[in-house]
Structure 1
Amino acid sequence: MSAAQSPAAPIAGERWSLEVILEDLDATADFAQALAELLEPGALLVLTGGLGAGKTTFTQSLGRALGVSGMVSSPTFILSRIHRSQGQGPDLVHVDAYRTDPEGLESLDLTSTLTESVTVVEWGRGMVEAALVGVEGSWLDLELIRDTGAESTPQESPGSNSGETEIITDFSETEADVLGARRRAVLRGYGPAWAQPPQL
């Protein structure tokens, strides 16, 4: 997947869809807290959004709400991290599918941790749902959409000729990407476990 490629379109067949406006980081944390209270072991959350949309920031807030250990950061170069529960709740498995394909995801053996964890897969839409829970299975799809007024423009490299843009190789979110940026969160439910929209 190239950096310029936009996220895959939503999968047809959702049971419901709801939209929440997240004005700032506090609103994002509150939304993650509310969602964490609904997630039980075995839950799959497919997290979608363009670069800088706030996927890792959301997952950090979700990890805090779930009470897991370790710093939740972008798993871009590791592909998958397991954050163990510090209490009675489920572990958090955080996956980034940006640089892999279905075969690469299969090698991570996510099915071995799925039933006892909350699994969050960034950039996994259309790639992980059937593989992990089956076409009749249940999952949540969360899309974060950055406010168009907050979109960043390509930065010129220092000393570069005018018009040349910097090649970005680090896709983790910086403080500048997320602080104060307004975004929409679109949550979609699939399968019998998510037949009704949650009260958030």
Structure 2
Amino acid sequence: MTQLSTVEETRAFGRRLAEVLRAGDLVLLTGPLGAGKTAMAQGIGAGLGVTDDVTSPTFVIARVHKAPVPMVHVDAYRLGGRLELDDLDLDASLEDAVTVVEWGEGLAEQLSDAYLQVRIERRDDDTRVVELIPHGGDWERRIG
């Protein structure tokens, strides 16, 4: 587990995490409202070479960011369930991009046999504790 004190530290953690990501990866960002999921996604985007603004896709649900390895950024908060996630047809782009899903726990795991869960907890003093939880594939080796 890693403790982060500022939003910039959260983004920097995301940039470092991007170094081990590759096309076809699924990353689930989990944690309560205000934990730093979007800041983490911004850091991942920066690390992948995304040059446009990475903002929360709450109202558009999913946004594709062009980069050497593209990033699909999804906010599953407003989705009513797996059927609505399936309607986004994310599996069509999954192989060609890093797919980062906020609020995807319990919904997005079905998109891939292997994925990385990034759990972010916000403490009372506004620090964040980040835990990387590998699920299948070679995640253990890559983040170890």
Q: For the superposition of Structure 1 and Structure 2, which TM-score range results when normalised by the shorter chain?
A: over 0.9
Structure 1 range deviating more: 23-32 or 70-79:
23-32
Of 58, 75, 91, the residue aligned with 2:40 is: 58
Aligned to 1:74: 56
1:133-160 per-residue CA deviation (whole Å, 9 max, x = no partner) reads 1xxx11000011111233xxxxxxxxxx
- C-alpha separation between the residues in 1 aligned to 2:34 and 2:77? 13
Q: Determine if the alignment matches structure 1 residue 94 to structure 2 residue 73.
A: yes
What is the DSSP-based 3-state SS (H/G/I as helix, E as strand, rest coil) of the residue aligned with 1:61? Answer: helix
Compared with structure 1, are the counterparts of its residues 83 and 106 closer, same or farther at alpha carbon in structure 2 (3 Å cutoff)?
same
Once the two structures are TM-superposed, the CA of residue 197 in structure 1 deviates from its matched residue by 5.8
Of 130, 141, 144, the residue aligned with 2:120 is: 144
Matches within 5 A, 1:48-197: 48-85=30-67, 89-100=68-79, 101-130=81-110, 132-133=111-112, 137-150=113-126, 182-196=127-141
| Preserved contact between residue 189 and residue 197 of structure 1 (Cα < 8 Å) | no
Once the two structures are TM-superposed, the CA of residue 122 in structure 1 deviates from its matched residue by 0.6
- C-alpha separation between the residues in 2 aligned to 1:143 and 1:33? 16
Instruction: Choose between structure 1 and 2: higher strand proportion.
Output: 2
Larger Rg: 1
What is the DSSP-based 3-state SS (H/G/I as helix, E as strand, rest coil) of the residue aligned with 2:129? Answer: strand
Normalised by the size of structure 2, how large is the TM-score?
0.93
Once the two structures are TM-superposed, the CA of residue 192 in structure 1 deviates from its matched residue by 2.3
Compared with structure 1, are the counterparts of its residues 197 and 69 closer, same or farther at alpha carbon in structure 2 (3 Å cutoff)?
closer
What is the DSSP-based 3-state SS (H/G/I as helix, E as strand, rest coil) of the residue aligned with 2:101? Answer: strand
Moved over 6 A (4+): none
What is the DSSP-based 3-state SS (H/G/I as helix, E as strand, rest coil) of the residue aligned with 1:148? Answer: coil
| Preserved contact between residue 70 and residue 97 of structure 2 (Cα < 8 Å) | yes
- C-alpha separation between the residues in 1 aligned to 2:142 and 2:48? 20
Identity %: 41
What is the DSSP-based 3-state SS (H/G/I as helix, E as strand, rest coil) of the residue aligned with 1:196? Answer: helix
Normalised by the size of structure 1, how large is the TM-score?
0.68
- C-alpha separation between the residues in 2 aligned to 1:93 and 1:83? 6
| Preserved contact between residue 15 and residue 45 of structure 2 (Cα < 8 Å) | no
Structure 1 range deviating more: 93-102 or 141-150:
141-150
